[in-house]
Amino acid sequence: MVKPRLYVKTGCPWCDEVIDYLDARGIGYEKITVSGNHEAMQVMVDLSGQSKAPTMDWAGEVLADFGVDELVPFLRARGVWV
């Protein structure tokens, strides 16, 4: 299974909700905090075309500015049953 990258911001309640959801279900990901990290922020903006978090990159498929409601179908479409 591909390990997605999750771009988050410090203090972002949607980011925290998504992290809690993924952790509770044992879904692996690489967390990248963009707050105070210009290079990581630029990568996120280049991927998604915007600066809002959370943003997930799953092998080049991007889900940007989302909550758990949008995350569930995104994961299911990639074969992750949540």
Q: Is 50 helix (H, G, I), strand (E, B) or coil?
A: coil
Burial class (CB in 10 A: 0-12, 13-18, 19+), 74: middle
Domain covering 5-76, topology: Glutaredoxin (3.40.30)
Tokens standing for residue 80 = 């992750």
Domain residue extents for the chain: 5-76
Amino acid sitting at position 11: G
State the pLDDT at residue 11. Answer: 97
Tokens standing for residue 36 = 């105070």
State the pLDDT at residue 2. Answer: 67
Per-residue pLDDT 10s for the chain (82 aa) are: 668 999 999 999 999 999 999 999 999 999 999 999 999 999 999 999 999 999 999 999 999 999 999 999 999 999 888 7
State the pLDDT at residue 40. Answer: 98
